[in-house]
Amino acid sequence: MKVKLQNIKDKEKIFKATRCKKRSPPKVQQGTRGGGMGPGLSPVDRRTLLACSLILAAALGQMNFTGDQVLRVLAKNEKQLSLLRDLEGLKPQKVDFWRGPARPSLPVDMRVPFSELKDVKAYLESHGLAYSIMIKDIQVLLDEEREAMAKSRRLERSASSFSYSSYHTLEEIYSWIDNFVTEHSNIVSKIQIGHSFENRSILVLKFSTGGSQRRAIWIDTGIHSREWITHATGIWMAKKIVSEYGKGHILTNVLNTMDIFMEIVSNPDGFAFTHSMNRLWRKNKSNRPGIFCIGVDLNRNWRSGFGGNGSNDNPCSETYHGPYPHSEPEVAAIVDFITAHGKIKALISIHSYSQMLMYPYGHLLEPVSNQEELFSLAKDAVQALYKVHGIKYIYGSISTTLYVASGITVDWAYDSGIKYSFSFELRDTGRYGFLLPAAQIIPTAQETWMAIRTIMKHTLNHPY
């Protein structure tokens, strides 16, 4: 199978496009969660579908994940967690942790390439680590996602509209931002706060009813590029803000006193790459001389606790913290903007997945000074979220609820004087992971909005 490479410019893309062709397609079983082709398909039909999937991916220059599985392991103790952590250090890397080894009470989810499945499963079995298969074949979900996006795009073009219940590319989101700002110029403006490593614009929406030097709330989504549900949630919430102002008293009171800043695509290079090449890319796209691996985890690049536990000094790691604090232009742009503004009173950074609402610290186990207030506020926000669709979230400090993580956004924000700093992990708990179907965009956004509105109201009523 020959692949046209005329539109693939860099060596990394050529390498990855070539590598994905060499993989042998697995036998796909019927009726398995996330992996069945459905009843009535003959083995020949299944092989044809797999071949077509490979050809389409190669033609588009996209990595193919046929046969890759997401395994879930429930570690019984710290020794078993250590055995799982050892998997990350293998070279070449054999697993991609979607939910990393944290504590025995939390499941560990990891994507295992088809070529490594036999070895990884043997490793788990030999150490008595029980596992289950959460996603039987990742490519099946990717094909469904791509097909849904193509269908939505056709409908949007025919109706000259924007679908808030679909996933979109970077170009589509930036075009929507321009139209959105034009349509709601009385309350929304666009600010360019910097450029990414690959020189893409870093854009922020400002919601304001006027005045200067006002207190403000910051919301960012998509700092990890594969977490598409976060961008989609941000877009829906932007629309909700303009539609609710003047009608809902809580949001109206907030905007009459404070401004809201929203950065929907915090990692534009990585996000573009999830569409053009690797849907499961997490980091940004920075590269440095002499280092083969590309990208820095933008949520490990902040000054607070930089380089500590929960981050990695290996450039090939998914949690690589970068060479020094704020080395990445995407992080530096936020730091410079928030520091220059000086009156950001709440910061909300939105991730997926796991269904959690957390506050500092991530890099320390010690509670922050207003721990009781943050715990109570998180509880109220989670209750408001639950009332919408009955989705349960857990809450608490990052280090005690999830895991120790150093150099993260909310720790920097808190240490910079932003008293109300929160991090969300949106739907789900692992059935789809980062590949949440578009049908869940609006329900996810609706419930998340109620939690964020709760935090906004508290920030408004407790000035400092």
Residues classed as catalytic:
425
Residue 28 backbone phi and psi in degrees, to 5: -100, 125
**Whole-angstrom distance, CA of residue 371 vs CA of residue 350:** 20
C-beta of residue 294 within 8 angstroms of C-beta of residue 300: no
Tokens for 103? 């504590």
Query: What is the SS3 assignment for 330?
Result: helix
Report angle CA 54, 59, 62 to the nearest 5 degrees: 70
In 3D space, the residue among 298, 284, 322, 302 whose CA is nearest the CA of residue 363 turns out to be 302
Please give the full DSSP string across 223-266, using - where no structure is assigned: SSTT-HHHHHHHHHHHHHHHHHTTTSHHHHHHHHH-EEEEES-S
Is residue 271 helix, strand or coil?
Answer: helix
Rounded Cα distance between 421 and 361, Å, is 10
Distance CA 464, CA 461 (A): 10
- State CA 267 to chain mean position distance: 10
Phi and psi angles of residue 71, each rounded to the nearest 5 degrees, phi first: -100, 145
> How does DSSP classify residue 25?
P
